[in-house]
Structure formats: structure tokens, C-alpha cells
Structure 1
Amino acid sequence: MQITTLLGSAKKKGNTATVLGWVEVELETLGHSVERIYLQNKTIGGCMGCAKCRQTPDAIACVQKDDAPDILERMIASDAVLYASPVYFWEFTSQIKRLIDRSYALVTNYHQPGHTSLMANKRIGLLATGGGAYENNAEGLFTAFDRIAAFLLAEKKGNLYVGGCSIPADLPETVREQAKGLARSLVA
């Protein structure tokens, strides 16, 4: 399988990147091809809500000329996509949220007959890290992700929250095993 991972952290070597690396190594060990897209280095404007993308439902027809259409094309070309984000203010980071908003260009007729998506039946998963517990912290992000999966008509294949993070060197070995489990669930 071809798997695209989306690193939505500003830190290339932080907790999210470290755990994502363990997921990616396991995926490669299982024989899959992995491409990581580090969103901090990409130019992704916010969705303008102009709905020009609706005029061409079978292609990404966003009027903005930035990195988002290329990333969305890579997601469509993949068998699976893993979103990875630290929890910032109970939600996704701005780096990954802009791309999620631009995913509007992938779907037509949401909540109507004929709802279609260029990501239909793709496998997706979520990795999130944070300093606090899941409760009163990360659950809104996971609820939002469930709705994103439904919007995209994608198949959610797994998720993992790693709480209590401080620095990558302090991540317990159990987290590496959980990361391997997330990798396996994404391709099962």
C-alpha cells in the first residue's frame, strides 16, 4: 500500500513526529511505502468558501495556487492517509487544520443525495499527542475527526492519543508499541 502521513506539528523532532516515525517504521517493516508530508514547510491558505471547487466535482478545482492541491492529489493517490497533530487548544494545529478545511474541494453534495468524495473508501487514521489527559482535552479533536471521515466517505481505520507528553526522550516504550498497533490497524 501507498500511505501518506501528514505531520501537522511545527516541530520536526517533537513528540508527534517521534511517534509518527515509529508508525512509519512499522508500516515500512510490513512492506508498505510511506511518504511523510511536513505541513509546516508548506504554503496552505485557508479555505475562502468561494465554492468554485464545486464547479468541477471530479477533480480538485480550488482557485488558490498554493501547496494544498498537490497535497490533496497525493492523498487521493494513496491507499491510506494518517493525520498526525499535537493538540492545541482542544483541536488540531493550524498547520493541519488549513489542509482539512481545504478538503472541502474533495466532496460534493454533502448531506444530499449523490454525496461523493475523491477520498471515498480510502483508509484514514489519526495520531494526536498532548501534554494533558484525553478527557477535557483531546476528545473534541477525535469527535471532529470522526466527522471528517464521514464527510470524506473515508474508512477510519484507527486512532491513537498519546497524553502526558513532555519531551520525546521521555516517551515510554509502551507508546512505541501503541504506535506499531496504529500502523497495523491502518493497513488491516
Structure 2
Amino acid sequence: MKLLILNGSPRMKGTTKRALSLLEESISLNKNDAEIDFYDISKMKLSACHNCDGCRRNGGTCVVADDGIFLQEKIFEADTLILGSPVYWWGITAQLKMVIDKFYSKEEIYFNKKMVKNIGLITVGASEVDNPQYRIIREQFECICRFLNWNLMFSKDIATRDKVDIMENDILMAEIKDLWKVI
């Protein structure tokens, strides 16, 4: 099983990265067949989709020469995609949004080959988990998955209003570690 984890946070020591790393470690320990790639996308050169349709004319590769081409190939090859993002103004980070927007480049291929992928989502915000911001993001990914015939395996919301390290919360750590069971 090829698994791709994308950290959409610009904070390399932030809660999103820690949660994703904890999950990666748990998957590695419990799923022997997992080939895991982990990327911090804020370290990559990414640009927005230009809506030029160049990808539609060349068979599904974005014509903008950046790391988005590499990431889209990794996503294309992966069976499972786990995305992590802090909540910025009721949405995912701009870095992760640029990656998501480039799904457009392979949209027709995903449809024609009926490439079902499993998606996991971890969102981290300052508000409590019953705040609408988490629901808005989850619903966006539910729509994307429905559109592409993908499977949203999980959506884990994490509230860190007091900047408490998740490593100090045994219950939360166990919940994150146990996400491997639905993969």
C-alpha cells in the first residue's frame, strides 16, 4: 500500500506536523505493507493553478514548472492520501489549497480509470472542535471525494486554543495513533 502524507502547515514544529508524524509512526508500526512518503509542502515551490487548461491538452500534467508536478504524480501513485492543515480563516492553508487545486490536472484520468483513493484529513485549529470551521473544511473534502469517487476514511479535528502540546494529552495521542485502524 502506497501512502502519502502531506503536511500543509508552514510551522515545522507545530501541532499539525506533530499529529501527522505521530500517525505516520503508528502506521509504520502497525501496517507492514505500507510504503510511506511524507512531505512538508511549505518547503516546496508551489504555484496556483492558472486555469490555462494546458494539462488538458498534454495528458494530465500541469504546465507550470514547480514542485506541484512532483506532488501530483505522488498523489496519482498513492493508494491513500493523508492531508494535514491548520485552520486559517475557516479553511485550509494556501499551501495545501494549491496542491488540491492541481487535482484538476488529473481529473479526467481519475474519472476514466475510476481510481478510488482513500483520504484522511487532520485539521488543527484554535477553536473548539464544535466550531463551524472544522465542519466547513470536512464538507469541502466530502464534496471533493464524492466528485472524484474517493473515500474519506477519516476527518480528525484537533483544538489547541491554549497551545498545549498534543504530546501532553494522552487521550488525543491515542486517538491519533488509532487512526491507522481505518486505513
Q: When the two structures are superposed, what TM-score results if normalisation uses the length of structure 2?
A: 0.90
Task: Provide the alpha-carbon RMSD of the alignment.
Answer: 2.0
Structure 1: unaligned runs, 5 residues or longer: 110-114
**Aligned partners of 1:106 and 1:119 also within 8 Å:** no
SS in 1 for 2:116: coil
Matched, 1:53 2:50: no
SS in 2 for 1:161: strand
Q: 2:44 aligns with which of 42, 45, 63?
A: 42
Pick closer, same or farther for the CA change 1:151–1:28 going to 2, 3 Å. Answer: same
* CA distance in 2: counterparts of 1:182 and 1:106, whole angstroms: 28
Q: After superposition, what is the alpha-carbon deviation per residue over 1:30-83, rounded to whole angstroms, capped at 9, x for unaligned? A: 122211111011111101111222224xx4321101000111111111121101
SS in 1 for 2:132: coil
SS in 1 for 2:92: coil
Matched, 1:178 2:180: no
SS in 2 for 1:116: helix
Q: What residue in structure 2 maps to residue 112 of structure 1?
A: none
Question: % of aligned pairs identical?
Answer: 23
SS in 1 for 2:37: strand
* CA distance in 2: counterparts of 1:179 and 1:117, whole angstroms: 34
Pick closer, same or farther for the CA change 1:44–1:173 going to 2, 3 Å. Answer: same
Matched, 1:133 2:135: no
Q: What residue in structure 1 maps to residue 2 of structure 2?
A: 2
Question: What is the 5 A alignment of 1:32-111?
Answer: 32-56=34-58, 59-108=59-108
SS in 1 for 2:9: coil
Shift of 1:151: 2.7
Which letter does structure 2 place at the counterpart of 1:50? C
Q: After superposition, what is the alpha-carbon deviation per residue over 1:69-121, rounded to whole angstroms, capped at 9, x for unaligned? A: 11111111112110100111010001101111111112129xxxxx8167821
Structure 2: unaligned runs, 5 residues or longer: none
Which letter does structure 1 place at the counterpart of 2:122? L
Pick closer, same or farther for the CA change 1:64–1:150 going to 2, 3 Å. Answer: same
Pick closer, same or farther for the CA change 1:34–1:9 going to 2, 3 Å. Answer: same
Which letter does structure 2 place at the counterpart of 1:40? S
Higher normalized helix content (fraction of residues): 2
Which letter does structure 1 place at the counterpart of 2:43? N
SS in 1 for 2:133: coil
SS in 2 for 1:125: strand
Shift of 1:167: 4.0
Aligned residues: 179
Shift of 1:170: 6.3
Q: When the two structures are superposed, what TM-score results if normalisation uses the length of structure 1?
A: 0.87
SS in 1 for 2:6: strand
